[in-house]
Structure 1
C-alpha cells in the first residue's frame, strides 16, 4: 500500500533502546541508531521526530517493560511490605543477571548523564524515577505507620536499586550485589518496625 511504513516501529524502538542502554545518550549517534534499526536519518526523523524524542520513547518502553515486573513484585505481598520489597530487589537482581540485555539500567544510566540531556528529556527521566518511588511507597503503606518514615524508606529503596545498576555497570560481581540487597532488606525490616511503632528517627 502506498505510503505504508515498511518496518516494525516497535522493533525499531527496541533496537534503539538497546543502543542507548549500551552506549548512553551522549555517545549514541544517529548513525549508530540507523545501523541498529535499519532506518535512514529521514525515516528516523519522520517516524520519531529526532534523537531526543526517540530516546524518550525508548525510556518509556524500558519503564513499561520492567515496570510491569516491579508492579507484580510490589503487589505480591499486600499484607507484608517487607516481603514485597524483597521481591522488588529480586526483580532488580534478575534483570542485572540477564546477559541478553546490556549491563546496568537505562534509567539509572540516564540519570547519571542528566547534564548532557535536553531539559525535556531530563524532566522525563526525573518523572520516571518519581514514578518508581511512588510505586515503592504504595507498597510500603501500612495503617498507623509513620508516614514521613515510609516516605524516607521509599527513597532509600529506590536509591539502593539505582545504585545496584551503577555497580553492575562498573563490573561488580552478582554475589556482591546480592550482599548489598541482603543488608538493604535488614535495613528495610528495621525501618518498617520503627515506623509501625512510632519510633522512627527524624
Structure 2
C-alpha cells in the first residue's frame, strides 16, 4: 500500500495493517474498537488516523490487503484451463486458506460483517459488493467456458458462479465454527459433482 500523508512514521504500514487484519478477523468489524486496533497495531490514535483514516477506512484497507495476500488463490483459479479446474482449484484452496494453522479460522471478508449494528450497514454493503464483484469474475469465466464448449450451452454462468460463491461462503462459516480441513474437503468433493461431465 502507498500512503503519503503527514510526516515520516516510525512504524511499518503493512505490518501494522496485518495486525489490524488479525483483530478484525477474530473479532469482526462491530466487535473491534479503536482501542483494540491501536493496541494490536502498536500505535496511538493520531497515528492511526494519519496513516489509515478512521475505523471504516482501516477496515477497507485491511480487506484489500487480505484479498491481495490471503485470497490470491482466487485470481489463480480463474486462469485454470477448464471450468471444472477453476472450481476445483478455487474451492480446494479456499478450504486450505480458511483452515490455515496460526491464523483465525474462516474468512475476514465473511467474519467481518456477519454480526453488525445498523450503523455498520455501509460495511455490510461494502463486503457484499466485493463478493458480488467476485461472482461476476467467475460468471465471466464460465461464460468463456460455454463459448469454448467446455460447459454445455444450457448452463447459466451467473447461477454457477453464485453456486461456487455460496459453497465458498458456507465453507468459511463452517471453518469458523470448528469444521476440520478434512471435513471441508469432503464438502468440496460433493460440490464438484455439479460438474458431471468433468469427474475428478
Q: One fold, TM greater than 0.5?
A: yes
> Could you list the runs of 4 or more consecutive aligned residues of structure 1 that deviate by over 3 angstroms after TM superposition?
114-117, 144-148
Query: Aligned residues, how many?
Result: 188
Asked whether 1:54 is paired with 2:58, we answer: yes
Per the alignment, residue 163 of structure 1 pairs with 170
Does the 8 Å contact 1:71/1:135 carry over to 2?
A: no
More helix by proportion, 1 or 2?
1
TM-score by length of 2: 0.85
Does the 8 Å contact 1:26/1:116 carry over to 2?
A: no
Per the alignment, residue 105 of structure 2 pairs with 103
Per the alignment, residue 93 of structure 2 pairs with 91
Alpha-carbon distance between aligned partners in 2 of 1:60 and 1:92, rounded to the nearest angstrom: 17
Taking a change above 3 Å as real, the CA distance of residues 89 and 176 of structure 1, as seen in their structure-2 partners, is same
Report the CA distance between 1:98 and its aligned residue: 1.1
SS in 1 for 2:70: helix
Alignment partner of 1:11 out of 12, 15, 29:
15
Report the CA distance between 1:169 and its aligned residue: 0.3
Which string of whole-angstrom CA distances, capped at 9 and with x for unpartnered residues, describes residues 9-37 of structure 1? Answer: 11111110111001111111111111111
Taking a change above 3 Å as real, the CA distance of residues 46 and 147 of structure 1, as seen in their structure-2 partners, is farther
Structure 1's unaligned 5+ residue stretches are 194-202
Per the alignment, residue 125 of structure 2 pairs with 123
Taking a change above 3 Å as real, the CA distance of residues 44 and 51 of structure 1, as seen in their structure-2 partners, is same
Across the aligned residues of Structure 1 and Structure 2, the Cα RMSD in angstroms comes to 2.1
Alignment partner of 2:75 out of 43, 66, 71:
71
SS in 1 for 2:110: helix
TM-score by length of 1: 0.84
Report the CA distance between 1:147 and its aligned residue: 7.3
Alignment partner of 1:149 out of 156, 179, 196:
156
SS in 1 for 2:156: helix
Report the CA distance between 1:133 and its aligned residue: 0.7
SS in 1 for 2:7: coil
Structure 2's unaligned 5+ residue stretches are 1-5
Report the CA distance between 1:97 and its aligned residue: 2.8
